[in-house]
Each structure stands twice: as C-alpha cells, then as structure tokens.
Amino acid sequence: MNVEYVNPFLSSLVNVLGTMANTKIVPGQPRLKKDEQARGEVSGLIGMIGPTTKGSFSVTFEESLALEIMSRMLGEKPDSINEEVTDMVGEITNMVTGGAKRILGEKGHEFSMATPVVVSGKGHTITHKTTGAKILMPFDSDFGKVFIEVSFDE
Amino acid sequence: MNVEYVNPFLSSLVNVLGTMANTKIVPGQPRLKKDEQARGEVSGLIGMIGPTTKGSFSVTFEESLALEIMSRMLGEKPDSINEEVTDMVGEITNMVTGGAKRILGEKGHEFSMATPVVVSGKGHTITHKTTGAKILMPFDSDFGKVFIEVSFDE
C-alpha cells in the first residue's frame, strides 16, 4: 500500500467537508489499523475495482460530528443517527471516493466505484478483507472525530 | 430489480453453506427491505460493478449460526464473534458473490466484485445506498437465521 493511494482520499475528505459542510478537519498521523473496531457510530463503505487491483474505502464519523455536518449541509439537526444521516454519509462516501478517483486517474491509477453501503451502531466493527495493509487516518474537528480507512489487495 | 438478479445469490448461498459447512438452510419469502436494521450480529458486504449497473450485496448471520458454521468449517467454535469469524464471513461473502457472478455471467450479466468488508455489532444497521429496490431474503436453519440483501442502481 503506497501513500500515493491514501493521500487522494485524505485531501478529498478535507475538501468535501470544507466545501459542502463548511467544516474544517485537521488530519492526524496515519497508521496501520491492526484491530477491527470502527472509530465512531456511523460508517460509509464503498468497494473499488481497478484493472490491476481492488479494494475498499470507509469513512467513520463520531455521532456528534455526523449530526453537526447534517445541520450544516441540510439545516436540520436530528437527535440521533437516522436514515437522513445515513443518506448524507452515503453521499459523502460517494463524493470523497469520486474526488480521490479523479486525483488517482490523473496519476494513471484508474478505478471504478461500486455503490456505497452505510453501517451504523455503537461499537460496530469494520474489517477490510484485503491482502494489503489497512491504513487508518484520523482527523479532528471542533465537533468530533472522523476517520478514513483505505485498503487494496496487494 | 429483477428476480433474475437475486436468485443466483440465493442458490449460491445454499450451495456454499451446504458444501463448505455441511449446513442446510431453507429459503423463506423474499421481500423489500424498508428499514435499515441488519438481521444478525455479523455481516459481509461487497460492492459489484457491471458495464450497465452497479450495486452491493450483503449477507448477515445471527451469531449462533455464524459460530456453528465456524465450528463446522474450521473445527473450532469460539465463544463470540472474533477476527477468525469475520475472516470466515469475508470468505463466504467472496464465495457466494463469486458463485452468483458465474451464474449471472452465463446469462449475459457480467460484473466485477470488489473486496469484502465485514461488519459486526449487536443492533448494527446496513443500508445499501442504491437507486433500486433493496431485496431482503431470509433463510432458516437448525442453528439460527441468515439473511441476504441485494440491491443495484436502476
């Protein structure tokens, strides 16, 4: 797993949350994910297929941040994660992966995106079943944390 | 969403659990999934991309059935869902989707599979963010229930 594959997802998430939700997030230190735990209450997942590899991307929000983004994007703030919030997380997953796809395409790494699946639940786990390393990238904000995970088959 | 797209996943799951885990499952009545709730404690998800459509598949096991299959496939039965169980669910997700891919390919519906992602957690939700109907198909067994969900963009 090359950092060249991860940075486009990082910059795309910063861009999507900044432009769509006026929310500034600060990237932390990327690391290998060794356990299965998701780092929040709601996650968007998407599969990716390229000519030479395939993999998956996920973005996990702490509930407080997901609800704040909901409020900023749609002008309403639900009390907890509902279907409108999972719709929003699915859209963000699509937008972030689409942005990363454009950046990677310009570098000659083409891939196609499947449709997103959104998972929620306190204490849920997420495991990318790929042969490559699982990269976990944390971000902090004034309203809570968000994490992305990217992994491709080697 | 045509039933032609769903039956290959049904027959592939029956076949995989029968041959790999010597476990007989009995299909129930397929229905539209209108809520977000997953019907068990551990789910395998995978994205699919074809030339004209894309979508996602999931298979959700009740914990009791997942642990029994684990015992039958690998000769050991853990007390709860651990990383070996999620590995097994990832493998089953790959095998079921691969079987369905072969059947659909013979009918002229080609698609490529991404890598699986496995999610676990009591009360987790799964929402396929596609534009098409979400088909939920229940199966019963002597050890618990298993459910598949298939959805493609229209």
Q: What is the pLDDT of residues A24-61, one digit of tens each?
A: 999 999 999 999 999 999 999 999 999 988 999 999 99
Which structural domain range is residue B69 located in?
A: 3-124+134-144
Look at chain B and report how many structural domains it folds into. 1
Judged by CB atoms closer than 8 Å, whether chains meet at B130 and A115 is answered as: yes
Residue B151 reports pLDDT greater than 80: yes
pTM of the model: 0.96
A125, part of any domain:
yes
**pLDDT tens digits for range A63-119:** 999 999 999 998 989 999 999 999 999 999 999 999 999 999 999 999 999 999 999
Q: What is the CATH number of the domain that holds A96?
A: 3.40.1550.10
B73, part of any domain:
yes
**pLDDT tens digits for range B49-70:** 999 889 999 999 999 999 999 9
Judged by CB atoms closer than 8 Å, whether chains meet at A113 and B49 is answered as: yes
Query: What was the pLDDT predicted at B105?
Result: 93
Residue by residue, DSSP assigns B57-75 as EEEEE-HHHHHHHHHHHHS
Of A117, A120, A130, the CB nearest to B56: A117
Q: How far is A82 from chain B (nearest CA, A)?
A: 9
A144, part of any domain:
no
Query: What was the pLDDT predicted at A2?
Result: 63
**Which residues of chain A lie closer than 8 angstroms to B119, CB-CB?**
43, 45, 119, 124-127
Three-point CA angle B16, B17, B22, nearest 5°: 120
A109, part of any domain:
yes
Residue A3 reports pLDDT greater than 90: no
ipTM: 0.95
- State mean pLDDT over B124-129: 97
Whole-Å CA distances, B112 to A47, A53, B56: 11, 12, 11
B94, part of any domain:
yes
Q: How far is B10 from chain A (nearest CA, A)?
A: 20
Nearest to B3 by CA among B31, B27, B28: B31
Average pLDDT of chain B, as a whole number:
95
Query: What was the pLDDT predicted at B119?
Result: 98
B92, part of any domain:
yes
B66, part of any domain:
yes
Residue B130 reports pLDDT greater than 70: yes
B129, part of any domain:
no
